[in-house]
Amino acid sequence: MKSHSLALLTAVLMSAGLTACSSGGGSEGAAGERTALDVWLMRDSVSAAFQKEFETGFEKAHPDIDVKIQIQEWEGVGEKVTAALASNDAPDVIEVGNTQVAQYAQSGGLTDFTDQVDELGGDKWLKGLAEPGSYEGRQYGIPFYAANRVVVYRTDLFEKAGVDAGRIKTRDQWIAATRKLDRGGTQGIYLPGQNWYALAGFIWDEGGDLAVETEGRWRGALDSPAALRAMAFYQRLQALGKGPEDSDEARPPQAEVMAKGEVAQIIATPGNANVVVQNNPGLKGKLGFFPVPGKSARTPGAVFTGGSDLVVPAVAAHQAEALTFLRELTGDAWQKKLAAAMSYVPNKTTLAGAVASDPGAAAMAAGAARGHATPNTPRWAAVEAKNPVKEYMTAVLTGRDPKTEAAKASRAITATLNSAS
């Protein structure tokens, strides 16, 4: 999985100019002409080889449509999409981060696909992609692909400690195994104090949430009993290594820390294994993956689902052709090809087998079945900008009272979510 899929969720939107997009005009061209369908996909979401294969296959099946894919950069794309939705020259299809759909839908700038959910296989969509693709009960984002965190581990250190990763199915087993690994100069796990995505998974496992909505008003929920239990578990796990209490997984990059050879596990997307090996070629062939364990052996732990949805601007000139594009690219045949080509999790629970031969993607797919997204409100981006969750975690890990700090962070979340845009 490419790291951008998760990094985009916390990126601050930067300004960028709007480039020319749609060819304009209606869906019907002059006799014998093909309809040019303008599509924005994001950098590294598809490889050049997959893009060429898809365009060739799509146009063979739909010879009246000429697909024109433009690759966009993640940096600054928020401003660019906002400008496109407000223009009269928008592209026909745009890839956006799954948690960004609500802010674009709020403006009324997206096409409503609620009536097409059934034909697009919506009953099988991953919850972590489908739910943030909706807004106020209507479906605007069509799930494209998913990625989530797993446990990346050192197979040699596990073997040396007598730990069988395949038998770690519960949180208690995970703690016991990590405690065995945390000795002799080896960190049982490198878990920074502010990895709030990991904490969110533990909160969902406990039946809680980061924030809840009641009758149109949001309330921060870090002070709920469920969320406090999750923080207590995080504290136990984090203590079995030397992760800093006051920074997140990007400062310093945890894959680079693991590459130094003294870390048995990290919680990360599988693509981080490639970074580890790039920094320490001696670890090639010594890294494995398993889903984040849950409270019960029956199900993996809940995880935050990153990834993308596809949206269609309400002003797009070629609505019918755009729906055809969505039907193809998010359909089973091309989803299987995309998963194999990019090591992504397909958009439907029924397609998990498409990545069975890829250990990292298979571990992601197992967790994705229990994936969640951040609270589905356009104001959540403002919460992440200040991120009182991180401050709360550091406060607890440095000895402050969990209940007091959780209440403080929850009040901050409440104020931000209910403030004017």
Tens of pLDDT, residue by residue over 282-329, are: 999 999 999 999 999 999 999 999 999 999 999 999 999 999 999 999
CA max distance for the chain: 76
Token pair, residue 69, equals 């894919």
Between CA 294 and CA 168 the distance in angstroms is: 10
Q: Which CATH architecture has domain 4-147+305-372?
A: 3-Layer(aba) Sandwich (3.40)
Domain boundaries, the chain: 4-147+305-372, 150-303+377-417
Q: Could you tell me if 101 and 141 are in contact, meaning their C-beta atoms sit under 8 angstroms apart?
A: yes
3-state DSSP of the chain: CCCHHHHHHHCCCCCCCCCCCCCCCCCCCCCCCCEEEEEEEECCCCCHHHHHHHHHHHHHHCCCEEEEEEEECCCCHHHHHHHHHCCCCCCCEEEEEHHHHHHHHHCCCECCCHHHCCCCCHHHECHHHHCCCEECCEECCEEEEEEECEEEEEHHHHHHHCCCHHHCCEHHHHHHHHHHHCCCCCECCCCCCCCHHHHHHHHHHCCCCCEEEECCEEEECCCCHHHHHHHHHHHHHHCCCCCCCCCCCECCEHHHHHCCCCECEEEECCCHHHHHHHHCHHHCCCEEEECCCECCCCCCCCEEEEEEEEECECCCCCHHHHHHHHHHHCCHHHHHHHHHHHCCECCEHHHHHHHCCCHHHHHHHHHHCCEECCCCCCCHHHHHHHCHHHHHHHHHHCCCCHHHHHHHHHHHHHHHHCCCC
pLDDT value at residue 6: 42
Token pair, residue 230, equals 């999750």
Q: Could you tell me if 210 and 384 are in contact, meaning their C-beta atoms sit under 8 angstroms apart?
A: no
In the chain the first and final C-alpha atoms are separated, in Å, by: 33
Regions of the chain with pLDDT less than 70: 1-32, 421
What fold does the segment set 150-303+377-417 form as a domain?
D-Maltodextrin-Binding Protein; domain 2 (3.40.190)
Between CA 160 and CA 183 the distance in angstroms is: 11
pLDDT value at residue 17: 33
pTM for this model (two decimals): 0.88
CA angle 244, 287, 1 (to 5 degrees): 80
**225-238 vs 388-397: helix crossing angle, rounded to 10:** 60
143 forms bridges with which residues in the sheet? 309
Token pair, residue 2, equals 């490419």
pLDDT value at residue 341: 95
pLDDT value at residue 7: 40
pLDDT value at residue 5: 40
pLDDT value at residue 421: 55
Between CA 156 and CA 288 the distance in angstroms is: 10
Count of CB atoms situated within 10 Å of the CB of 225? 11
Which is nearest to 41 in space by CA: 376, 330, 317?
330
Which is nearest to 296 in space by CA: 347, 370, 223?
370
Same fold, 4-147+305-372 and 150-303+377-417: yes
**All residues at 6 or more sequence positions from 48 whose CB lies less than 8 Å from its CB, including other chains:** none
Token pair, residue 270, equals 């599988």
Between CA 274 and CA 339 the distance in angstroms is: 18
**Polymer length in residues for the chain:** 421
Between CA 221 and CA 230 the distance in angstroms is: 12
Exposure class string for 259-289: b at 16+ Cβ within 10 A, else e = beebbbbbbbbbbbbebbbeebeebeebbbb
